[in-house]
Amino acid sequence: MLPGSDKLTAALAAAFEEGVLKTVTTAFGEVTVVVAADRYAGVMRTLRDRAELRFEMLIDLCGVDYSGHGGGGWDGPRFAVVCHLLSLSNNWRLRVRTFAPDDDFPVVPSLVDVWPAVNWFEREAFDLYGIMFPGHPDLRRLLTDYGFVGHPFRKDFPTSGHVEMRYDAEQKRVIYQPVTIEPREVTPRVVREENYAENE
């Protein structure tokens, strides 16, 4: 979609030694880079500071839970952090993905020193996915309620949640109780095999 993705991949190849970027792929006109978690902070700093790259802006950062991807056959680390960078001077966009090595305690270094814009995005990723960002000055929950338990955007967290809130007339206060509605799915999730319905 965007012009200059060839130039961007060439500039990336020139800027980084082999092996620093695990993969560089171009799909739908967008360039995606996968970086190991221990190299992540350094790579991001280079992306911002190097004269040919100059990604001045971090547009977005989000967590992704890959368990269940493609109908459950995902093998690889479960949690990833995906950043979208924008270079105003070159008019480039770049997506950087890094997987958290430990599935039970996902940790990815914080980028607050590189782009201050990342502050709330990292808080959100921590809140919704439980990804820890060492180096973040203020890693509190952001979107969920005060005293919320769990990380709601993980794939094993039900859409209806675990607790519901109501006013109890006898105790004369608002109480939490386990959810009483049953989860239901009207349209099932279907992943078709390849080439399905292509032979007409």
Partner 1 sequence: MNFGPQHPAAHGVLRLVLELDGEVIERADPHIGLLHRATEKLAEYKTWIQSLPYMDRLDYVSMMCNEHAYCLAIERLLGIDVPVRALYIRTMFDEITRIMNHLMWLGAHSLDVGAMTTFLYCFREREDLFDMYEAVSGARMHAAYYRPGGVYRDLPERMPQYQAMKTRNARGMKALNENRQGSLLDFIEDFTRRFPGYVDDYETLLTENRIWKQRTVGIGVVTAERAQALGFTGAMLRGSGVPWDLRRKQPYAMYDRMEFDIPVGINGDCYDRYLVRVEEMRQSNRIVRQCVEWLRHNPGPVITDNHKVAPPSREAMKENMEELIHHFKLFSEGFHVPAGEVYAAIEHPKGEFGVYAISDGANKPYRIKLRPPDYVHLAALDEMSRGHMIADVVAILGTQDIVFGSIDR
| 45 near partner 1 (CB under 8 A) | no
Q: Pattern 15-44, binding to partner 1, x per CB under 8 A?
A: ------------xxxx-x------------
CB 120 within 8 A of CB 145: no
Q: Which of 62, 65, 104 is nearest to 83 (CA)?
A: 62
Two structure tokens written together for 189: 């999730």
Two structure tokens written together for 177: 């109780």
CB of 170 to partner 1, least distance (A): 28
Two structure tokens written together for 161: 């949640």
DSSP code string of 113-149 = TT-TTHHHHHHHHHHHH--B-TT-S-----SSPTT--
| 113 near partner 1 (CB under 8 A) | no
Cα(165)–Cα(175) distance, integer angstroms: 6
Indicate which single residue of 7, 13, 107, 116 sits in contact with partner 1 (rule: CB under 8 A).
116
| 159 near partner 1 (CB under 8 A) | yes
Indicate which single residue of 10, 13, 88, 175 sits in contact with partner 1 (rule: CB under 8 A).
88
CB of 164 to partner 1, least distance (A): 14
CB of 88 to partner 1, least distance (A): 6
| 119 near partner 1 (CB under 8 A) | yes
| 174 near partner 1 (CB under 8 A) | no
DSSP code string of 9-36 = HHHHHHHS-BTTEEEEEEETTEEEEEE-
Cα(114)–Cα(154) distance, integer angstroms: 27
Options 6-14, 165-173, 174-182, 187-195: segment touching partner 1 (CB under 8 A): 187-195
Residues that bind partner 1 (CB under 8 A): 1-2, 27-30, 32, 56-60, 62, 64-65, 69-71, 82, 84, 88, 91, 93, 95, 115-120, 141-145, 152-153, 159, 185, 187, 189-192, 196-197
